[in-house]
Structure 1
Amino acid sequence: MKKIATTVAIIIVSLILMVNNARAGGFDIGVDAAILIDAESGQVLYEKNADKKLPPASITKIMTLLLTMEEVDKGNISLDSMVTVSQLAESMGGSQIYLAADTRLKLRDLLKAVTIASANDACVAVAEAVAGTEENFVRWMNKRARELGMKNTHFSNTTGLPTDGEHYTTARDVAIMARELIKHPQVLKWASIWVDYIDLPNGRKAMLTNTNRLINDYPGMDGLKTGHTDAAGYCLAATARRNGMRLISVIMKGETEREREEATARLLDYGFNSFEKYIVLKKGHKVHNIEVPNGTRTSTVAETANDLKVVVKKGEKDLLTKKVVINEPVEAPVKKGDVLGKIQVLYKDQVLSQVKLLATEDIEKAGFLTRLWRSIARWFQELISNIF
């Protein structure tokens, strides 16, 4: 009996050591592609096959929502605008709220249906309301993707339904557009709703049930978008906030719904448990003695435009270094608020974060005679230093 107990104890200790060694050697999850970023800075905390092109399924709708909210912000359309449902929108398969052609709904309700229930019919109706046709809207989607630096993305529809055209993205690109979308708080309010109803014409109601079950189960989660097709597998772009830090995770091509949920929870847990947000420098931190050779003043002071924040592994703050990079040369005239350079935070020579350095004063260009005299003085200084 003692032998068995000893053997079991040895096995348990071995397993614990194996787990600890695995953690020390690096975190990993089993899905095809994934990424974890800090939402504020975009700093990557974990990635796996993050640039692999994959079909995104309904994660596509992140871009649909983003473009629409940007048009709302510009005043080109209102959340209270009435939208007429087209035959094309009515014909959409997959997830839907069974809209009838020629009926009218508020844009606000259609966006809720897209965000919460991933409704394809509502998605197409939104696109047509914003851009006239879905084809126009898709063109805008691809243009916006290029503007955001989504280098490995191409959309052929607004919904993510299987298509004959090229329709792909990457975990990294999904994180980029998700980071942009969460700048719109209203979307997070919708995305955090578990069950809701919207009024349809003819006295009907559509029940909206969130396709992201982690909204109920994962502390701090308030978004963002699920996806599933046979080709794409099970995908989830999620965001959660804890202790003043918001993270965005992307899981692509999970084998089951449960796997994407478990992988998302593990990835976010890894971020929240292993990292902390650290303010390296406060907004307004001064950098002195920045040379302005042709100015009425030959040196000036710059200050940081914002707090310089970084997400760092717990216990590794002492490994961070700072680097001041000044634009060369700084030439007058300089206006207060001009960007004169930046301060970077590095971890093992890798730039983790940076903040702009702004001019704190106006400096005019020195006159010709002043600049000539300075040139002569510099020439004499160099001559003397070379002699001695």
Structure 2
Amino acid sequence: MENIKKIFILFVCLMMLGFLVPKNTYAETVSVEDILEAMPAEEIIAVECSTGQVLMEKRSTDVCEISHLAKLMLALLAAEKIESGELSLTDTVTVSAKANSMPAPQIWLDKNEKITVEELIKAITISNANDAAVALAEYIYSSTDEAVAKMNCKAKSLCMDSTTYADVCGLDDRTRSDAADTAILASELVKYDILTPYFTSWIDHVRGGKAELVNLNRLVRTYKGITGMKACSSATAGECSVATAKRGKMEIAVVVLKCSDRTLCDDIAKKLLDMCFDVYSLYTPEISEDMLKKIPVVLGEESKVSVGFGELSAVIVPKGSSESFDISFDKEKELSAPVKKGQVCGKLVCRYGNQVIYSADLVAENGVKEKDFSFCLKILLNYLLKF
């Protein structure tokens, strides 16, 4: 990956100079670290969602308060319930006294008011409504304590090791995470298309028009390919943004935490997305029919075995670099029985200079037993019966 990093550094230096470095500063005196350090945010990370590959980061593992970004985990749990059929957008929720008592931001829910699950999801994705978060959590899990337990359990299952939820809203100063974990969460959320219309809405209304929802993530109005996610701020967490965007097959998640200014926070997120799309692309090698031709099996109950690469995963490479890849492919001319399912019988390797960019094993898609006496006798009998 060292070559990829060097190419990325070159692109970043060229693209960021006009954004953060005075015009009279020479490019050769500026490092990527200096550029990131100049950004007025304490934590930054950019990742490709499908691969989880980190493309850029600055102190992304510093644990801090995350404010309303905690609601992203509640949104993920709700999406899972909807997908499994355990929860419906049309379900009606009765608002509790606890939900009614939550501080702003809120949609001013009244005690015993009826509201749909969809409206509550809108209120925590488009907006950051605390009363809606509590009402939704109580409906799904009966209590906010149980919801918090499930949020922490899900964080653990996603290997968000720096994340701890103490409440469903992000108001408790013990609710903490970091940019790296938040990027993992964002990468999981983009899998649920049901949430995209809410995350990308600029303005909406709930409660029969009595409550207006305004998305603080300004990129939803202007950024090409935007798919979400959330912007928020608090006195302790500063200005925070999570933004996801997709172009072609590549989807990028950017997390900016503890920024000093809302506009600068949005500008940083936009610039990072631009750089990722300009510099990188997803790469999966092309597989020819010849590579997948069956391999003869010596002394096997079947004369040939089917082979394949399984589901080939993509990797991130510098844009345009794949044209210079050196691709080699080796394949067994024949196999001796017995052949086991999954047995390696070939290898595809893509190199960029001396660096291996991609490799994949060609494997047997099924097993082939070795011929024995009873099998040969059966074949002979079948042959004789044809006469």
TM-score when scaled to structure 1?
Answer: 0.76
Q: Match of 2:253, SS? A: strand
Within a 5 Å distance, the mapping from 1:213-292 to structure 2 comes to 213-282=218-287, 286=291
| 1:104 paired residue among 114, 124, 134 | 114
SS of structure 1 residue aligned to 2:206 = strand
Q: 1:119 aligns with which of 120, 123, 129?
A: 129
1:139 match: 149
Q: Is the 8 A contact 1:38 1:44 kept in 2?
A: yes
Which residue in 2 is equivalent to 1:312? Answer: 317
* Structure 1 residue 16 displacement after superposition: 6.4
Q: Deviations over 1:176-214 (max 9, x none)?
A: 1111111111211111111111234xxx62111112112
Q: 1:171 aligns with which of 146, 154, 179?
A: 179
8 Å CA contact retained: 1:306, 1:355: no
**C-alpha displacement of 1:21:** 5.3
Does residue 159 of structure 2 align to residue 155 of structure 1? no
Cα distance in 2 for residues equivalent to 1:170 and 1:350? 32
- 1:205 corresponds to which of 210, 222, 225: 210
- 1:182 pairs with one of 168, 190, 195: 190
Q: Mind listing any 5+ residue stretches in structure 1 that lack a counterpart?
A: 1-11, 325-330, 369-388
Instruction: Deviation per CA, 1:11-36: give whole Å up to 9, x if none.
Output: x9x94671365378885252211111
CA 1:41–1:332 in 2, change beyond 3 Å: closer, same or farther? Answer: farther
Offset from partner CA, 1:30-84 (integer Å, 9 cap, x none): 2211111112222211111122111111111111000111011111111111111
What are the Cα deviations for residues 256-277 of structure 1, in whole angstroms up to 9, with x where unaligned? 1122111111111111122223
Contact 1:274 1:313 in 2 (8 A): yes
Note the C-alpha offset of 1:122: 0.5
Q: What is the alpha-carbon distance in structure 2 between the residues aligned to residue 95 and residue 346 of structure 1?
A: 52
Using the alignment, how far apart are the partners of 1:285 and 1:88 within structure 2? 65
Secondary structure at 1:123 match in 2: helix
Residue 321 of structure 1: CA displacement?
7.3
Q: 1:162 to 1:282 in 2, by over 3 A?
A: farther
RMSD of aligned residue pairs (Cα, Å): 3.8
CA pair 315-350 structure 1, distance change in 2 beyond 3 A: same
Percentage of pairs with the same residue: 29
Single out whichever of 109-118 and 339-348 deviates more from structure 2. 339-348
Give the partner amino acid of 1:133: S
1:20-39 aligned within 5 A: 22=30, 28=36, 30=39, 31-39=41-49
TM-score, normalised to structure 2's length?
A: 0.76
206 and 362 in structure 1: CA distance in 2 versus 1, 3 angstrom threshold: same
SS of 1:97's partner is coil
Contact 1:154–1:167 under 8 Å retained in 2: yes
How far apart are 1:367 and its partner, in Å? 7.1
After superposing the two structures, state which structure 1 stretch, 96-105 or 236-245, moved more.
236-245
Letter in 2 for 1:247: I
**8 Å Cα contact 2:166-2:172 kept in structure 1:** no
Q: Structure 1: which amino acid aligns with 2:272?
A: L
1:51-90 correspondence runs (5 A): 51-90=61-100
